[in-house]
Amino acid sequence: MSGDDVSRILEQIEKDRIKFIRLQFTDIIGIAKNVAIPAKQAEKALTDGISFDGSSIQGFARIEESDMVLKPDLSTYQILPWRPEAMRAARFICDIYTPRGKPFEGDPRYILRKQVEEAAKMGYIFNTGPELEFFLFHQQNGKPSLELQDTGGYFDLAPTDLAEDVRRDIIIALTDMGFDIEASHHEVAESQHEIDFKYGDVLTTADNVITFKFATKTIALQKGLHASFMAKPIFGINGSGMHTNCSLSTLDGENAFYDPDTPKQLSDVAMKFIAGLLKHVKGITRIANPTVNSYKRLVPGYEAPVYIGWSTSNRTALIRVPAPRGRSTRVELRSPDPTCNPYLTFAAILAAGLDGIKNDLEPPKSADKNIFHMSGDQRKEEGIDTLPGSLFEANQYLMNDPLICNALGPHVAENLNSIAEIEWDSFRTAVTDWEIKRYLATY
């Protein structure tokens, strides 16, 4: 960054009467972290960076190599609109460096930057448009509960949807932070909601996912509610997904997925991208669906995609190509959920798609029938496989996918493996309420 850029931002901070600055980043599992500094330290942060202890952050560094440096990305400066005027605060999203000035290989943002650079070498810009679903629950004694906030359903209005005011305040806050909100509505399940923002280049979109979750939780908390992005908080109703729309554009702005002269108006690049995604999707699942609970959502019967296939018209397929063409041509990967780390998830998706392009992969024939209504034999006959059924299984697929592991780098891949093993072992050895109800009286 130039001295002029720093001076311009410092002037803006003073003009905005900012008292505190939050230097934000994410850990390896996608949880937002921050270091808060008084505004008078802004010049130091913007020029030299701010040091912090990386050994305290999951998946970052061992104690003997724990020193890390946060360097703000000037383009991410935003006022936090919910803060009171007297304590006005702003934030920067930061990249993480070692004390020697090298990008930290465990920084999820750096992992995504590397894939963006790889796409640029091939002449492409990767755009994404995620659709995040979430639940609003009441708080009880200051802690999140499973008490539903409303009993609305898909596209319901007040008075059934009691969360309209909460969604409105969330949208106002996000708009003040520069989001281009396209739509919001009540989702299928009670107390479940969706707010959609405009697609953009993949790094900006990943930043926006973290900001979206942070802002949504903050505004909900101010209303005495808990916003949960957990994949499947309640048995028997729909879980929350993060359908991710993806497209490649050329460096001059043309949509690389569109070809008006083919039967489906999809280019060779689009078909190869789809083929790469399908080839690597089992390994991607570990990243896009990173918790034990994620796999309670990925089951038949609740609109969640579990069958590996693609289609231009079938919403039961894992990869759907929505109807719009021209500049809006895109593919939608429907399996990710909002507990994922967006930087790592988008990096893995891009790496897989680029692999399909580099190696001229061809996708299988499209699955244009309702896959949910097929029998197991019919799916087998059509060559339709299923996603991994557990975190343990998905992690094995990731560890056996050298392309995705290479995209993540050894530091991140090894830490994700360790996290999955510890998480699965903790789940495997826990005694659940289901087991007590099923076995205690019988045996």
Q: pLDDT (tens digit, 9 = 90+) per residue, 263-274?
A: 899 999 999 999
Which one of the listed residues 243, 297, 320, 379 is annotated catalytic? 243
Which one of the listed residues 109, 226, 334, 379 is annotated catalytic? 334
168 pLDDT higher than 60: yes
DSSP3 helix / strand / coil % (the chain, rounded to 5):
40, 25, 35
Contact 288, 345 (CB under 8 A): yes
Cα separation values, 425 from 287, 391, 439, Å: 18, 11, 21
The pLDDT value given to residue 25: 94
Residues facing 144 on adjacent strands: 139
Which one of the listed residues 27, 187, 190, 259 is annotated catalytic? 187
Q: Is 194 a catalytic residue?
A: yes
Q: Which helix (H) or strand (E) holds 74?
A: none
27 pLDDT higher than 70: yes
Which one of the listed residues 156, 194, 355, 401 is annotated catalytic? 194
Which one of the listed residues 5, 53, 67, 254 is annotated catalytic? 53
- Cα end-to-end distance, the chain, whole Å: 68
Q: What angle, 0 to 180 degrees and rounded to 10, lies between the N-to-C axes of helices 108-121 and 342-358?
A: 20
CA-to-CA distance for 57 and 25, rounded, in angstroms? 11
The pLDDT value given to residue 159: 47
On whether the pTM is more than 0.75, the answer is yes
Q: Is 332 a catalytic residue?
A: yes
111 pLDDT higher than 50: yes
Q: Is 14 a catalytic residue?
A: no
Which one of the listed residues 27, 107, 131, 190 is annotated catalytic? 131
Which one of the listed residues 156, 332, 337, 401 is annotated catalytic? 332
Q: Is 334 a catalytic residue?
A: yes
The pLDDT value given to residue 86: 81
207 pLDDT higher than 50: yes
String of DSSP letters for 134-159: EEEEEEETTEEEEEES----TT--TT
Q: Is 315 a catalytic residue?
A: yes
Instruction: Say which residue, 418 or 145, is predicted with more confidence.
Output: 418
Q: Is 62 a catalytic residue?
A: no
pLDDT digits (tens, 9 = 90+) for 395-424: 999 999 999 999 999 999 999 999 999 999
User: What is the distance of C-alpha 147 from the center of its chain?
Assistant: 26
- What are the residues whose beta carbons fall under 8 Å from the beta carbon of 162, sequence distance 6 or more? 149, 150, 152
CA-to-CA distance for 126 and 140, rounded, in angstroms? 43
CA-to-CA distance for 58 and 151, rounded, in angstroms? 37
Average pLDDT over every residue of 212-220 = 94
Q: Count how many Cα atoms sit within 13 Å of the Cα of residue 355 in the half-sphere of its side chain.
A: 20
CA-to-CA distance for 72 and 376, rounded, in angstroms? 52
Q: Is 393 a catalytic residue?
A: no
